[in-house]
Amino acid sequence: MIGHFRYLVLYLASGIFGFVLGGNYAAEGIASTGASGALFGVVALTVLDLLYNWNDRPKHWWDLFWIGVDVVVSFILGLLPGLDNFSHIGGFFMGLVLGICILRSPAALRERTGDHEFEPTYSPVLDSKTQATATTQFVKSPVGFFKGRKPAWWAWWVARALALTFVLIVFILLLNNFYIYRKTCGWCKYLSCLVRPLYFRTFPHGQS
């Protein structure tokens, strides 16, 4: 619905960020090789899509409830042995941030800024004629494209830029911590495998 390229960027970035977060804070001995971080990024995108088009969804509260159940159950499953919940958390976080950056503005904001005249519905981003028209307008007249924009439009784009800058800084800091400082936190174990510490207290050398 948002186009192949945007979906690919979000899917890969969410998976990578989830692995990096897990590499920093997951419990020792947990190998994370699945695609759950990337899938959680997609789940975050569906949450944003629902919130952005809240009034256009006939059963928005019901949709939000089931997405919430899906997220909660998945995070609880992430507490089981052999699963890296930090990969889920990192993927969901990256999905939210990138979703803010790559999705169209919320429907209410588009109406307030006047963009709803060019984007009357939430149609596929890369396949829509309105997107091509907006791109053509920007190429022909970059200054004119920004001229007359309302403060709310500028505020939203500034928020997008800040969100993208923030997540890039966090990503660099996590990589730096993984390779150099190796700092962790005492309470991180409560967000990931809860059974493993009990297992190793019972079998300190891993005997079965």
* 36, 87, 105, 192: the active-site residue: 36
Taking the C-alpha atoms of residue 57 and residue 60, their distance in angstroms, rounded to an integer, is: 5
Q: Is 88 a catalytic residue?
A: yes
* Listed residue (78, 76, 70) closest to 44, CA to CA: 70
Report the C-alpha dihedral over residues 121, 125, 50, 90, rounded to 10 degrees: -170
* 14, 32, 87, 88: the active-site residue: 88
* Listed residue (50, 51, 48) closest to 6, CA to CA: 48
Taking the C-alpha atoms of residue 2 and residue 96, their distance in angstroms, rounded to an integer, is: 15
DSSP 91-150: HHHHHHHHHHHHSPPPHHHHHHHTGGGT-SS---TTT-HHHHHHHHHHHH-HHHHHTT--
Q: Which amino acid is at 90?
A: G
Q: Is 74 a catalytic residue?
A: no
Asked if 17 and 91 touch (Cβ cutoff 8 Å), the reply is yes
Question: Token pair of 68, please?
Answer: 């919430």
Taking the C-alpha atoms of residue 196 and residue 86, their distance in angstroms, rounded to an integer, is: 15
Which residues, in sequence order, are CB contacts of 133 under 8 Å at separation 6+?
118
Active site residue ranges: 36, 88
